[in-house]
Amino acid sequence: MQTATLAPEQNARHAIAMATIAFIGLGVMGWPMARHLRTAGHTLHLFNRSSAKAERFASAYGGTPFFTPAAACEAADALITCVGNDDDIRQVTASAFQSLPAGALFIDHSTASANLARQIAADNPHYHCVDAPVSGGQAGAEAGQLTIMCGGSAEAFAAASPILAAYARMTGHLGPAGCGQLAKMVNQIAIAGVVQGLAEALHFAQSAGLDAAAVIDVISKGAAQSWQMDNRAKSMIEGRFDFGFAVDLMRKDLALVLDEARRNGARLPVAALVDQFYADVQAMGGQRQDTSSLIRRLA
């Protein structure tokens, strides 16, 4: 995992080995990430929109549930959020920043707009803000093997790194505020094209009367190999789509991508086309199926 040096005196509150962390958002990704923080010895103040989930986590792993983000952030060294979208982040921070101490660290693992990350950092210079979307899915979160793309100041990234180490395989500092979110958009663009290519390849193999599984076993040892092929080809052939990242979430991410591309002038014809293909899958009832369900529309 990429490492970094702790920041100087102004970040002394983060130089301690163990931190008190307000963790907000105990969903599919947030729950295992919070569990890794507890295993590492950090003290957790927990908030979740469904308070019962925070109480279940505390009963299983420790930590203290709170009924508002503001209450969870009192006396915290750091705030970590893992929520759904820009509106969720705005809602959470409007409460949390009422009580989060000056000099605290704010790490946002949500996938959201780069503009919001820039705005939060600019409006709150008394916090060390890191936009830190992740890649690796639920399996990566469970295993503590996430890839984390970080935007923010060098000092903020240095302060965040020891905490991120609890569940990261790789962390990268990619530039100032917003750059983590931009990097996640790059990630999603690449995935969209690869999944569509894999779906078409399997569809072609089946249409040609080939044993698709046997073909994949051969070509996965060559230049066509990818994470998607290694982890999703078999289930795609079998018509199973209940693994990991949902179509609804991918469409949310691609909307962020295409909006940013309109601003920066990038041309993304494949990403735009695959986004419409995912809309077809939604219309077929596949909103909560994983992204490999693209193959369904070729059947």
What are the residues whose beta carbons fall under 8 Å from the beta carbon of 12, sequence distance 6 or more? none
Residue 268 CA to residue 257 CA, distance in Å, equals: 9
- Amino acid residing at 177: A
Residue 291 and residue 217 in contact, taking contact as beta carbons nearer than 8 Å: no
Contacts of 25 (CB under 8 A, 6+ apart): 48, 81, 82, 83, 92, 109, 110
What angle is formed at CA 201 by the lines to CA 198 and CA 204, rounded to 5 degrees?
150
C-alpha dist (Å) from residue 98 to 70, 73, 182, 202, 242: 6, 8, 28, 52, 39
Number of neighbours of residue 267 by Cβ within 10 angstroms: 8
Kindly state the tokens that stand for 87: 């509106």
User: Half-sphere exposure of 239 toward its Cβ, with a 13 Å CA cutoff?
Assistant: 5
Q: From CA 186, how far away is CA 30, in angstroms rounded?
A: 22
Torsion sign, CA atoms 169, 294, 189, 152: negative
| Residue found under tokens 């100032």 | 176
Instruction: Determine the number of helices (DSSP H) and then strands (DSSP E) in the chain.
Output: 12, 9
Q: For residue 184, indicate whether it is catalytic.
A: yes
Given 184, 221, 234, 252, which residue is catalytic? 184
CB 132 within 8 A of CB 180: yes
Give the Cα separation of 134 and 170 in Å (integer).
10
Active site residues: 184
